[in-house]
Chains A and B, each alone.
Chain A
Amino acid sequence: MDHDTRAALRSDLLDAAAEGLSASTAVTSRENSLRYARILRRIRATILPRILVIECEGSPPLKLEVSNGRILAMDATGERGNLAPLSSADLPQLTCALERIAEQPGPISLRSIPIPDGRPTFATGIAASQLQLSEQAADLPESVAQLFAAAAQGSGPNDAEATAGITGEGEILIVGTDDPAGDLEFEASILGRRVHGCLKGHSLGEVVAAWAQVRRA
């Protein structure tokens, strides 16, 4: 599939998902969110980059696609006209199915999982915040990651120090200044330490990406 075709398909899928999601139920339980994140990270580690396709048994059969930070579903023919929102009642079932997949050894490219009740097609964005695309993690500025690593140790060029700030574990807050050439200030918390400092010459995106790298280390 060439780039343009893939981009068009992704756009169509996301549009359809957005339409379906507008009527769906939010996942508000923190416990559930953590659970989804853990499961989906495990799946990501096995099957990304790009796309996971899971064929689901049922009537009609479903095809789940993990793409562009979302889990989407469509019927096995690939037609996208039948998308409908996934309700909160479906999430535990889908999660259990994904758990079973994640527990199986070996690469996951195509697996069959049962969908109870033979539910019709649906679209969901339950993983929108948790999934990562490998390609976005590429080309991280190593200097920024090293800077954060030094900050987390309480020393280094940031002059980092413990503060009574607002970030929680694993979080970073980056704030800008009115001066376009001004430094970005940040506060971050990791491994029970809260640090803050300034960063020169890096964009917001670079800092966020580097922070994700530090957090995974």
Chain B
Amino acid sequence: MMPAALSEGMSLADLEHLRLRLSGCEITMLADIAATTVLGVSSALAHPQEHYDQLCTQARTALTYGGRPRPYAVSASPFGVRLYLRAPDHPDEVLCLVLPHLADVDLALHQAQAALTGQPHAGESPDGP
């Protein structure tokens, strides 16, 4: 059976695969920030839906910082890093990553971009999980 597609070129299996490839990644989520709709989630912990809705709202706020659309945004705090990346062909669709403190953000961005464009293995770390 083919995995359920969340979006063009992306499935729940892709989200899961991306999360497991990024060391310490807690959540990978695909959301439509225009509709504030969570399209799919892979999470290490079982959070309530409100948690993902809040993440979606934060993504929209970050990606419209300064009143104009941004292709990507990163929010870092003492408790971790959140990366938001718009899909190139569907800018309202956003991939959200919740990463550990001091995660390899450059690698995460690279792999997230690859996942959104259907190249999930690009940028793979040779000694990653």
Contacts and interface: CB of A to CB of B under 8 A. Distances in A.
Contacts of B76: 171-172, 174, 208, 211-212
A209 interface: yes
A125 B44 contact: yes
Interface stretch (A57-65, A103-111, A131-139): A131-139
A162 interface: no
Given A21-B45, A26-B45, A132-B101, A204 B106 contact: yes
B53 to A, nearest CB: 14
A22 B51 CA distance: 15
B66 interface: yes
A100 interface: no
B72 A125 contact: no
Contacts of B19: 18
A25 B105 CA distance: 27
A129 B100 contact: yes
A133 to B, nearest CB: 7
A70 B81 contact: no
B102 A209 contact: yes
Contact of A185 (B45, B65, B77, B81): B65
A99 B114 CA distance: 42
Given A7-B127, A10-B129, A175 B101 contact: no
Interface in A121-172: 125, 128-133, 136-137, 166-168, 170-172
A94 B54 CA distance: 29
Contacts of B70: 175-177
A26 B65 contact: no
Contact of B78 (A11, A170, A208): A170
Contacts of A95: none
Contacts of B106: 203-205
B18 to A, nearest CB: 13
Given A171-B75, A175-B72, A24 B129 contact: no
Interface stretch (B1-9, B20-28, B32-40): B20-28
A69 B102 CA distance: 9
Interface in B76-116: 76-81, 98, 100-107, 109
B79 A37 contact: yes
B79 A175 contact: no
B62 interface: yes
B61 interface: yes
12 contacts: A11-B129, A14-B23, A17-B44, A26-B47, A28-B48, A37-B79, A125-B26, A125-B45, A130-B78, A176-B70, A205-B106, A212-B76
Lowest 5 CB-CB distances: which A-B pairs, in order?
A129-B80, A205-B106, A69-B24, A69-B100, A205-B105
Given A22-B45, A175-B74, A176-B71, 13 more contacts: A11-B129, A25-B45, A26-B51, A37-B78, A128-B24, A129-B98, A168-B77, A173-B73, A175-B66, A175-B73, A176-B72, A205-B105, A208-B105
Interface of A: 3-4, 7, 10-11, 14-15, 17-18, 21-28, 33, 37, 68-70, 125, 128-133, 136-137, 166-168, 170-178, 185, 187, 203-205, 208-209, 211-212, 215
